[in-house]
Amino acid sequence: MNNLPSHVAIIMDGNGRWAERRGLPRLAGHLAGVNRISSVVTSLLTNQVKYVTLYGFSSENWNRPEEEVKGLFQLLEERIDREAAEMHNHNIQIKHLGRINGLPSTVQNSIQRACQLTQNNSGPVLNFAFNYGGRHEIVDTARKLIEQNIPADRIDEQVFAANLYTAGIPDVDLVIRTGGELRISNFLLWQAAYAEYYFTDVLWPDFTPRQVELALAEFGKRKRRFGGL
């Protein structure tokens, strides 16, 4: 396939609705969503996508029912070590995007183990945005620049980008949102400034490798102008 994106970011939406339509608790939908991740990531990497960013838990998701949030954290703890080992076997580097200090200590430990295990891998990069918010990232970057005492006249887009959570990673080429909603939900506001967007009604647990192919094919039809003619 020609004209493939280098960096694909996915808003994995629709887990709760997937479960509700089947008369299941919402957490069953999140489990189904977690089970979907491996096949989608594998499909993207097979198509030579070098960077994948998954939106797992936003800074606004804390407003969900406490039982659901706790269930999500428990699910992450149960799965991340196993998934990290699998990614490590495929030379994939895992990075975390977001405010890790705001998470329960057990979740922090799981994420840190995954990142440390894969930090020296030289293959594709999988960014896991958990407790992430685009506005938080921009604020955190501004604070970082102030702490470094960088003079205002030396701050430009390159300096700012070099201090984002995604420092060293190219901007997003394609943002995919599942679940039928048509918004970006505070996701990668800086990095996706000139990304192409692909919205689908397919709920995340039903987003198969075939759906990945459709999204990549649609991207291949786009003519990216980056503000030009």
Instruction: Kindly report, residue by residue over 32-72, the tens digit of the pLDDT.
Output: 999 999 999 999 999 999 999 999 888 888 888 888 889 88
Q: List the beta bridge partners of residue 9.
A: 53, 175
Q: Is it the case that residue 14 has pLDDT exceeding 80?
A: yes
- C-alpha to C-alpha distance for 59 and 137, rounded to whole angstroms: 10
Spell out the domain ranges in the chain: 7-221
Per-residue pLDDT averaged across 160-174, rounded? Answer: 98
pTM score? 0.94
Binned at pLDDT 50, 70 and 90, residue 225 comes out as: confident
Per-residue pLDDT averaged across 165-181, rounded? Answer: 97
Q: Output the pLDDT for position 65.
A: 87
Within 13 Å, how many C-alpha atoms sit on residue 91's CB side?
Answer: 5
Binned at pLDDT 50, 70 and 90, residue 86 comes out as: very high
Q: Is it the case that residue 1 has pLDDT exceeding 90?
A: no
| Largest Cα–Cα separation, the chain | 58
In this structure, which amino acid lies at residue 126?
A: L
Q: Output the pLDDT for position 147.
A: 97
In this structure, which amino acid lies at residue 27?
A: L
**Percent with pLDDT over 70 in the chain:** 98
As a whole number, the mean pLDDT across the chain is 94
Q: Is it the case that residue 2 has pLDDT exceeding 70?
A: no
Q: What is the pLDDT of residues 97-144, one digit of tens each?
A: 999 998 999 999 999 999 999 999 999 999 999 999 999 999 999 999
Indicate the CATH number for domain 7-221: 3.40.1180.10
Q: Output the pLDDT for position 11.
A: 98
Q: Which residues contact residue 132 at a Cβ distance below 8 angstroms, ignoring those fewer than 6 apart? A: 55, 56, 57, 58, 59, 97, 98, 99, 165, 187
Going edge to edge, which strands form the sheet with 196-199?
93-97, 125-132, 51-58, 7-11, 174-177, 196-199
Residues annotated as part of the active site = 13, 61
Residue pair 97/137 in contact by the 8 Å Cβ criterion: yes
Q: Is it the case that residue 227 has pLDDT exceeding 80?
A: no
Contacts 24+ apart (CB under 8 A), 115-119: 117/84, 117/85, 117/88, 118/84, 118/87, 118/88, 118/92, 118/93, 118/94, 119/93
Q: Output the pLDDT for position 149.
A: 96
